[in-house]
Amino acid sequence: MRYILIDRIERIDHSRRLRAVKTVSRSEDFFADHFPGQPVMPGALLIECMAQAGTMLLEISRDLGVKALLVMVERAKFRAPVRPGDTLSIDVLVESSEEALARLRCTALVQGRVVADAVLTFSINDVEPFYPEAIRKLVHIGYADLMRDTIVGPIPDEP
């Protein structure tokens, strides 16, 4: 994947919630064209941040034995621009989860201010057709790296 948009998983409450972090750097290649002299992170990449965080919650909660695929984006709203130097906090909350489908409420914040939100639906699939055994080992290593300082347990609501 060209864009890994999550730097770390800050907190996880398995099968319920996840908080991830992305530091937006001036060196991100999308800023060259979006927009010269007035850099703004594209909305599609904000959705991708939320989708990657949602994927991580679903896959980690099921012991990496599934592959979560984004199938629907609903009620996406972009409330403020995200600029170089911003630190995105991506909060994911499971609204519903079944064996083959999960619906997540996702919110992206900068300094506690909501910059984007959406409801994302994922299909839950067997991991084998997506990742052969050797690739699964690399995925496990990648997740372990993202979770190196993760706090596991209930995530308190922000005041």
Q: What is the pLDDT along the chain (159 residues), one digit of tens a residue?
A: 467 899 999 999 999 999 999 999 999 888 888 898 899 999 999 999 999 999 999 999 999 999 999 999 999 999 999 999 999 999 999 999 999 999 999 999 999 999 999 999 999 999 999 999 888 899 899 999 999 999 999 888 764
Instruction: With H, G, I as helix, E, B as strand and everything else as coil, classify residue 28.
Output: coil
**Strands 8-13, 151-152: parallel, antiparallel or unpaired by DSSP?**
parallel
Write out the two tokens for 52: 């990657």
pLDDT at 86: 98
**Order of strands across the sheet that contains 151-152:** 66-78, 113-126, 101-110, 87-97, 17-23, 8-13, 151-152
pLDDT at 2: 61
Closest CA to 91 of 134, 119, 53: 53
pLDDT at 36: 86
Please give the Cα distance from 104 to 93 (Å, whole number): 6
pLDDT at 100: 97
pLDDT at 159: 41
pLDDT at 102: 98
Q: What is the pTM of this model?
A: 0.94
Active site residues: 34
